[in-house]
Chain A
Amino acid sequence: MRRNFPVWAVYGLGFVPAVAAFGAGLSGLSGPDPIRALEQSLGLWALRFLLAALCVTPLRRFAGVNLLRYRRALGLLSFYYAALHFLAFIGLDHNFDWAEIGREIVKKPYAFIGMACLLLLIPLAATSSNGMIKRLGAKNWTRLHRLVYPAALLAVAHFIFAVKSWPLEPLLYAGAAVSLLALRLAPKKSRSLEQAGNA
């Protein structure tokens, strides 16, 4: 049944939170500060899709569940949400005041880390197509796409640096990210499985 679930539907469902958040903001349903609500929702979904993409390999290795055909969609959704999150930050939150945006990114750790994370996701999104895999070669492509690991760590660090004190929610996401990366350090049982080159 899972086999029949089409990839396009992942994209379709994947954009529901963005449309809902934007709609709620426009219609005044997202509370007294709709800009902040939209910005945070987009960022949170970027992180969720990134972690979902990182679940694919451990699920295959340890649970025998193969969701590989959805991984590209999950990764790209994460990138699209991160880009929308950034657009909300520069446009809605900071009114395209470039001087202030520049100062924020240079001087505020949360903004600097978030920017670095988005920059890491760009080459991954740009090389996500079958054509690019072919052109780069599976080995190089796999190596390049290991950038998702530091990107995931930067994403949760960005969340932690953006809040006051140590509330639970960002720590839970950080725990999830670290666990998903740690699973990849488990000793490899089957050589041939890993040779498929899906990190």
Chain B
Amino acid sequence: ATAAPTPRSPLSTDEKPNRLSDITGYNNFYEFGVGKSDPAANAGRLKTRPWTLRIDGLVDKPADYALEDFLKPLTLEERIYRMRCVEGWSMVIPWLGFPLADAISRAQPQSAAKYVAFETLYRPDEMSGQRGFPRIIPWPYREGLRLDEAMHPLTILATGLYGEPLPNQNGAPLRLVVPWKYGFKGIKSIVRLTLVAEQPPTSWSMIGPDEYGFFANVNPNVDHPRWSQATERRIGEGGLFAKRLKTQMFNGYDSVASLYSGLDLRANY
């Protein structure tokens, strides 16, 4: 790897990031269509200013923040993470963001809070996929993390990519990145974080509980009914004759293993 112009977070990988055109041209963001190039084609209509982020639920300081006020006290850093999609492909992405823990701490969670529920914007006028038929997802898109997963230093909220503001198709203005989980956990264009006591419903597990579990940790040993999880194809490498790579447990982020000690990862996929 070559030296980067900006200091890297020690949590970054030194693998070579994907080209910007790969990262912005090949997306799953069903709010803008089901094709991989649909988000790039359709996300331009989304207005990300003004943007309100609500943090509520079991917190001492619930609030509706104007996003720019919310971001003002935070320091952004670059995190270069592997991203493994449940469909069997992967990328390396240089995110710009901050630990989710910083956002949660500011709201002062109560001791009863055990999970964080996330919600994506619902605005069918600007998000063509939300008007589509048949309805792919019961909108709005929902995701969730256990509180200890949310507070883990690897878990970030991203506002940028390659040092620039996040393109709409990548989840502008604010998205979740949890590098040891399948990409669909990385909920995009977030409008709400709610601290809750019980495990919240998540969109894909509502649609196909046997296919997409709540945890969705990258795990080469637990099969998905549709895609092989033992291997993955790194996007942007090798063209038509690319070789598959072996998928790593927790996408190679071994430090998170302690979060799941005592949990049967085959049953809790």
Chain A residues within 8 Å of B, Cβ to Cβ: 22, 25-26, 28, 31-36, 38, 92-95, 97, 100, 103-104, 107-110, 161-168, 171
Min distance, Cβ B57 to any Cβ of chain A, angstroms: 28
Report the bound CA distance from A92 to B241 in whole Å: 6
The answer for the CA separation of A110 and B226 in the assembled complex, in Å, is 7
A171's closest neighbor in chain B, by CB? Answer: B134
Q: List residues 105-162 of chain B with CB under 8 A from any CB of chain A.
A: 132-134, 136-137
- On whether the beta carbons of B239 and A32 are closer than 8 Å, the reply is no
Count of residues in B whose CB is under 8 Å from the partner chain: 34
Of the candidates A28, A103, A161, the one whose C-beta lies within 8 Å of that of B239 is A28
B: which residues have CB within 8 A of A? 18, 21-22, 25-26, 30, 34, 36-37, 89, 132-134, 136-137, 204, 207-208, 223, 225-228, 230-231, 233, 235-236, 239-244
Q: Give the complex CA separation of A35 and B36 in angstroms.
A: 14
Complex contact A95–B240 (CB within 8 A): no
Whether A166 pairs with B228 at a CB distance below 8 angstroms is no
Most chain B CB neighbours (cut-off 10 Å) among A93, A163, A164, A168: A164
Give the CA-CA distance A164 to B22 in the complex, in Å.
Answer: 22
Which residues of chain A are within 8 angstroms of B243 by Cβ–Cβ distance? 95
Contacts of B225 in A (CB 8 A): 107-109
Shortest C-beta distance, A30 to chain B (Å), equals 9
Secondary structure call for the A interface: helix
Closest 4 CB pairs of A and B: A32-B26, A32-B22, A25-B240, A167-B34
Residue of B with least CB distance to A26: B240
State the total of A-B contacts with C-beta under 8 angstroms.
75
Q: Report how far A161 CA is from B226 CA in the complex, Å.
A: 8
Distance between B133 CB and nearest chain A CB, rounded to angstroms: 7
Besides A31-B26, A92-B241, 9 new A-B residue pairs in contact (Cβ under 8 A), listed by A number = A25-B239, A32-B22, A32-B236, A35-B240, A38-B240, A93-B233, A100-B230, A104-B228, A165-B34
Nearest-CB distance from B77 to chain A (Å)? 26
B138 to chain A, nearest CB (A): 10
CB of A131, distance to nearest CB on chain B (Å): 37
- A164–B235 Cα gap in the complex (Å)? 20
CB within 8 A of A32: which of B227, B235, B240? Answer: B235
Taking a contact as CB atoms closer than 8 A, the residue among B25, B34, B227, B240 that contacts A34 in the complex is B240
Bound-complex Cα distance A36 to B207 (A): 24
Residue in B18, B36, B235, B240 with the greatest tally of chain A CB atoms within 10 Å: B240
| Given known A-B contacts A31-B36, A166-B136, A168-B134, A100 and B226 have beta carbons under 8 A apart | no
Q: Known: A162-B226, A167-B34. Contact between A26 and B239, CB under 8 A?
A: yes
With A104-B228, A108-B225 in contact, do A167 and B240 touch (Cβ < 8 Å)? no
**B25 pairs with A31, CB closer than 8 A:** yes
Contact across chains for A165 and B207 when beta carbons are under 8 A apart: yes
User: Are A94 and B240 in contact, with the CB atoms below 8 A?
Assistant: no
CB B234 to nearest CB in A, in angstroms, measures: 10
> With the chains together, A25 CA to B242 CA distance in Å?
11
Closest CB in chain B relative to A103 CB, distance in Å: 7
Question: In whole Å, how far is B157's beta carbon from the nearest beta carbon of chain A?
Answer: 25
Complex interface: chain A residues within 8 A of B34 (CB): 163-165, 167
A103–B223 alpha-carbon span in the complex (Å): 10
Closest chain A residue, CB of each to CB of B243 = A95
Partner of B89, one of A33, A166, A167: A33
Residues of B within 8 A of A108 (CB): 225-228
A94: nearest residue on chain B (CB-CB)? Answer: B244
Q: Report which of A32, A33, A165, A168 forms a contact with B21, defined as CB distance below 8 A.
A: A32
**A168 in contact with B230 (CB, 8 Å):** no
Q: How far is the CB of A57 from chain B (nearest CB, A)?
A: 31
Chain B residue numbers with a CB within 8 Å of A38 are: 240
Could you say which of A25, A26, A28, A33 contacts B233, with CB atoms under 8 Å apart? A33
Q: How far is the CA of A182 from the CA of B207 in the complex (A)?
A: 31
The distance in angstroms between the C-alpha atoms of A33 and B133, with both chains bound, is 26
Q: Which residues of A contact B241 (CB under 8 A)?
A: 92
User: A100 contacts B231, CB within 8 Å?
Assistant: yes
The interface residues of chain A lying within 8 Å CB-to-CB of B207 are 164-165
Chain A residue contacts of B36, Cβ below 8 A: 31-33
In the docked arrangement, what's the CA distance between A45 and B230, Å?
29
Closest to A101 in B: B228
Which of B134, B136, B242 contacts A35 (CB under 8 A)?
A: B242
